[in-house]
């Protein structure tokens, strides 16, 4: 069943499940990317989140080719600020504008729906970066601006630096999942206070919350964690929690995947849960994982399995 729920990020209407594009150009070639994007579109996903550094800048290009003439029917988010090379990094005003032009070219578009500062740059006053981003909004090259990997204090500082009538961050994209609940300690409250949307990345804890990593069972071959990505997550404590979460979900006729997405969307400030996919099947499963409307009693039970200090 296609995604039919939408929430707002500033002025943008986004599907509550989005597609993270970090696999494009890294694990997926052009043809495989096109298949994943088509599956996402067929399932009603309209929110595609990429970055200039993904796939060594190939992700934006692959996404553009996959979308083709459907570009104007979707919401494209990209990011700048992480190191592309020695000359392309950071948040200096002149680089912000260069990075935007580079992304526009790779995305084959004349506007970016959501342009996000990928990581704070402590060497540049946030007011200077915001000024450059506002210029891009005024020029029509960017519709909304956001940030990523910001603390509550950094969100507050950025909001205080916005000049009257200028563009402000409407979203923050940080890691958040049932197994990584750090945002619950301050960032979500700051989002509520400032009316900023929260976009969780790694919602499946790098695959731990898909159910494919089970206690006392062989690890699946070819997966991110098995290949060395975030292998530190495979602790006894985490695997114990996964088993409890699987039992909880299955006792209610759901999967742990559905629990992972639906739990995040029970948070009022969460606008869209973005997860990557390496196959059309994964894209379809993610799109259909957000239908469980958890009750207060169920949320309390989940909190007992994975307390806030997790």
State the pLDDT at residue 213.
Answer: 81
Residue range 60-77: mean pLDDT, rounded: 98
Residue range 226-232: mean pLDDT, rounded: 56
Residues 230-262: pLDDT tens digits? Answer: 567 778 889 999 999 999 999 999 999 999 999
State the pLDDT at residue 196.
Answer: 98
Query: Which is higher by pLDDT, 229 or 78?
Result: 78
Residue range 155-170: mean pLDDT, rounded: 96
Residues 81-135: pLDDT tens digits? Answer: 999 999 999 999 999 999 999 999 999 999 999 999 999 999 999 999 999 999 9
Find tokens 């990997």 and name the residue.
Answer: 149
State the pLDDT at residue 137.
Answer: 98
Check pLDDT > 60 for residue 24.
Answer: yes
Residue range 180-195: mean pLDDT, rounded: 93
Q: Identify whether 54 is a catalytic site residue.
A: yes
Residue range 196-212: mean pLDDT, rounded: 94
Query: Within 10 A of 41 (CB to CB), how many other CB atoms are there?
Result: 20
Three-state SS sequence of the chain: CCCCCEEEECCEEEECEEEECCCECCCECHHHHHHHHHHHHHCCCCEEECCCCHHHHHHHHHHHHHHHHHHHHCEEEEEECCCCECCECCCCHHHHHHHHHHHHHHHCCCCEEEEEECCCCCCCCHHHHHHHHHHHHHCCCEEEEEEECCCHHHHHHHHHHCCCCCCCEEEEEEECECCECHHHHCHHHHHHHHCCEEEEECCCHHHHHHCCCCCCCCCCCCCCCCCCCCHHHCCHHHHHHHHHHHHHHHCCCCCHHHHHHHHHHCCCCECCEEEECCCHHHHHHHHCCCCCCCCHHHHHHHHHHCCCCC
Q: Which residue out of 54, 95, 176, 201 is catalytically annotated? A: 54
Check pLDDT > 70 for residue 226.
Answer: no
Residue range 2-21: mean pLDDT, rounded: 93
Q: Which residues pair with 147 in a beta bridge?
A: 117, 172
Q: Which residues contact 253 (CB under 8 A, 6 or more apart)?
A: none
Query: Which is higher by pLDDT, 259 or 213?
Result: 259
The two most distant CA atoms of the chain are separated, in Å, by: 58
State the pLDDT at residue 310.
Answer: 47
Complete domains list, the chain, with CATH: 6-207+268-295 (3.20.20.100)
Residues 129-152: pLDDT tens digits? Answer: 999 999 999 999 999 999 999 999
Q: What is the pTM of this model?
A: 0.94
């Amino acid at each position: 069943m296609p995604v039919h729920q939408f929430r707002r990020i500033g002025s943008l209407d986004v599907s509550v499940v989005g597609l993270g594009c970090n696999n494009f150009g890294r694990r997926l070639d052009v043809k495989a990317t096109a298949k994943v994007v088509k599956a996402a579109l067929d399932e009603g996903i309209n929110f595609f989140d990429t970055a200039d550094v993904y796939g060594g800048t190939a992700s934006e290009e692959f996404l553009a080719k996959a979308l083709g003439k459907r570009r104007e029917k979707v919401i494209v988010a990209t990011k700048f600020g992480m190191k592309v090379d020695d000359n392309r990094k950071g948040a200096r005003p002149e680089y912000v504008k260069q990075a935007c032009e580079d992304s526009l070219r790779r995305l084959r578009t004349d506007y970016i729906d959501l342009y996000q500062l990928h990581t704070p740059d402590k060497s540049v006053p946030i007011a200077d970066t915001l000024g450059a981003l506002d210029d891009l909004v005024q020029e029509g090259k960017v519709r909304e601006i956001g940030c990523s990997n910001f603390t509550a204090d950094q969100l507050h500082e950025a909001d205080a630096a916005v000049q009257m009538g200028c563009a402000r961050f409407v979203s923050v994209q940080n890691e958040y999942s049932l197994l990584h609940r750090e945002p619950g300690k301050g960032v979500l409250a700051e989002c509520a206070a400032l009316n900023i949307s929260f976009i969780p990345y790694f919602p499946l804890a790098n695959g731990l919350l898909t159910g494919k990593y089970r206690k006392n069972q062989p690890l699946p071959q070819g997966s991110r964690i098995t290949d060395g990505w975030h292998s530190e997550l495979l602790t006894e404590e985490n695997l114990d929690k996964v088993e409890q979460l699987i039992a909880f979900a299955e006792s209610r006729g759901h999967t742990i995947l559905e629990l992972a997405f639906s739990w995040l969307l029970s948070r009022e400030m969460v606008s869209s849960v973005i997860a990557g996919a390496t196959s059309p099947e994964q894209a379809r499963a993610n799109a259909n994982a957000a239908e469980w409307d958890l009750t207060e009693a169920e949320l309390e039970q989940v909190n007992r399995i994975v307390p806030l200090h997790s």
